[in-house]
Amino acid sequence: MISLPPAFVRRVTGLLKDEAGAFFEALGQPAPVSARLNPRKPVPREALPFLDPPDGRVPWCEQGFYARERPVFTLDPALHAGGYYVQEASSMFVGQALRRFLDGRPARVLDLCAAPGGKSTLGLGLLPGGSLWVANEVIRPRAAVLKENLVKWGSDRAVVTCGDPARLASLAGAFDVVLVDAPCSGEGMFRKDARAAREWGEALARACEERQKRLLPAAWECLAPGGYLVYSTCTYNPGENERVLEWAARQFHADPAGIPHDFAGITPGDSPLPCYRFYPHKTRGEGFFIGALRKRDGLPFSLPAREARVPRVALPPAARALVGEAGGYTPYLAGETLGIIPSPHAAFVQHLGSRVGLLYRGVEIGETAGGKFRPSHALALWDALPREGTRAREVDLPTALRYLRKEEIRFDAPPGEWVLVTYRSLALGWVKAVGNRLNNYYPKEWRVRMDDAPRVV
Ligand code: SAM
């Protein structure tokens, strides 16, 4: 049983009144486990026994499932291949907002506080064709985790940046939707994370509120006229939720933007603005808050003419052998890294890179060091890698786990050839036959560490 801070108990009791007992009882239960499948990397259902009914679907997310138990996810190669993402169920409701506001049109979306990548991997699966998703994280080590998760997810429409929101504000009017999943006091995570309860305090909640108000002007500046700001937190504190949303509406002269739904148990927020609270005694998930605003007017973004041109880069034959002519994509070179990006976004992303640190864009294809071409790990995980041009080898679970630990694995392969290692048809990464051994090219910084033998998965 978690030990709850008394000031928190007093506030929530005042807020929930008759329901407070049910709420605290729910906080004493184990947190539900849920995961979201990658629509672009189908995993056979028998490979995910922990997600099977009777626990079933997360009502507001087509790809979201509850798990009967918490398996050792790290020991499931399908997770490392980007087949699914372990995500708390309430926060999957962001997908409802995206569906409504994207409305089937190509769009640019900015996820301003994006690490570790839950909302970004969700949003990438919902993006209309021709869209771009910019995932930003200000804290460098967290941005590296965000990049890892997005590379594994495998979409070529994602860009990862690492920057202070104020630097992104110079892209005024550039985004149709901006997501601010704000850093908060984390009350909604007490059940999952005992540290959040230990570190909680009223001073922290007030500091979070101030920080949220500092973030929002940059988010608003980035929005195109007619665009939508989606604001969410994982706290119950109205001071960081409804009051911040109302502050933003007044400050920016924003229109309210509703997220209609007909799911049971979601509680309307205490505000004249449309917004929702998620409580663990009413919906099967953790604490969550979401609301949205619409920008009425402002200037649309236009790319400075001198930046509208991107340098021409030719794909070397070794890269073409793997990705073909890559029609619809523009090749780029960043240092010795060769990549491709959907052509309609090449100039915009180049411009973005002049404002904020660009950690990833499109698909990295490979390294060109010393005149030799070495395919990148991201290419192996790309959800549209043409498999015809690639030699692939399916492996069993023990071999897949050895590969992910970056240990030696063995099978016959023609010397000098790059071979894609797959598990249940999902790509895990590359090996290359050198002499009578296979060199394992799994990135060492992502190496899976495990002390015990595989369980459950
Ligand atoms: N959207 C993420 C997801 O779904 O996986 C979770 C985001 S988490 C609630 C908030 C993020 O905001 C953290 O990654 C944190 O590092 C970042 N953050 C902290 N301080 C910030 C600041 N001053 N400006 C922008 N982001 C900040």
Residue 362 Cβ < 6 Å to ligand 1: no
216 close to ligand 1 (CB < 6 Angstrom):
no
Please report the pLDDT score of residue 372 as a whole number: 86
Q: Is 391-451 assigned to CATH 3.10.450.720? A: yes
Task: For ligand 1, say whether the CB of 358 is within 6 Å of any of its atoms.
Answer: no
Residue owning the nearest CA to atom 8 of ligand 1:
183
pLDDT of amino acid 304 = 87
Q: Do the first three CATH levels of 303-390 and 391-451 match, i.e. the same topology?
A: yes
Q: How confident is the model at residue 310 (pLDDT cuts 50, 70, 90)?
A: very high
Give pLDDT, residue 452. Answer: 43
Residue 49: per-residue pLDDT:
82
Q: Using a 6 Å cutoff on CB, does residue 181 contact ligand 1?
A: yes
Which one is catalytic: 162, 208, 222, 234?
Answer: 234
Q: The pTM is what?
A: 0.96
For 181-208, how does the pLDDT look when each residue is reduced to its tens digit (9 = 90+)?
999 999 999 998 888 899 999 999 999 9
C-beta of 119 in contact with ligand 1 (< 6 A): yes
Percentage of the chain beyond pLDDT 70 is 97
Q: Ligand 1 mean position to 302 CA, how many Å?
A: 28
pLDDT at position 455 is 40
Domains of the chain by residue range: 6-294, 303-390, 391-451
Does the Cβ of 217 fall within 6 Å of ligand 1? Answer: no
Helix (H), strand (E), coil (C) string for the chain: CCCCCHHHHHHHHHHHHHHHHHHHHHHCCCCCEEEEECCCCCCCHHHCHHHCCCCCECCCCCCEEEECCCCCHHHCHHHHCCCEEECCCHHHHHHHHHHHHHCCCCCEEEECCCCCCHHHHHHHCCCCCCCEEEEECCCHHHHHHHHHHHHHHCCCCEEEEECCHHHHCCCCCCEEEEEEECCCCCHHHCCCCHHHHHHCCHHHHHHHHHHHHHHHHHHHHHEEEEEEEEEEECCCCCCCCHHHHHHHHHHHCCEEECCCCCCCCCEECCCCCCEEEECCCCCCCCCEEEEEEECCCCCCCCCCHHHCCCCCCCCCHHHHHHHCCCCCEEEEEECCEEEEEEHHHHHHHHHHHCCCEEEEECEEEEECHHHCCEECHHHHHCCCCCHHHCEEEECCHHHHHHHHCCCCCCCCCCCCCEEEEEECCEEEEEEEEECCEEEECCCHHHCCCCCCCCCCC
pLDDT value, residue 271: 98
Q: Establish whether 184 is a catalytic residue.
A: no
What mean pLDDT do residues 379-387 have?
95
Ligand 1 pocket mutation pick from 87, 113, 210 by most atoms within 8 angstroms of CB = 113
How would CATH label the architecture of 6-294? 3-Layer(aba) Sandwich (3.40)
pLDDT (mean) for 33-57: 86
Atom index in ligand 1 nearest the CA of residue 184 equals 9
**Which residue has a Cα nearest atom 18 of ligand 1?**
183
Architecture label for domain 303-390: Roll (3.10)
Q: Which of the four pLDDT bands, split at 50, 70 and 90, describes residue 451?
A: low
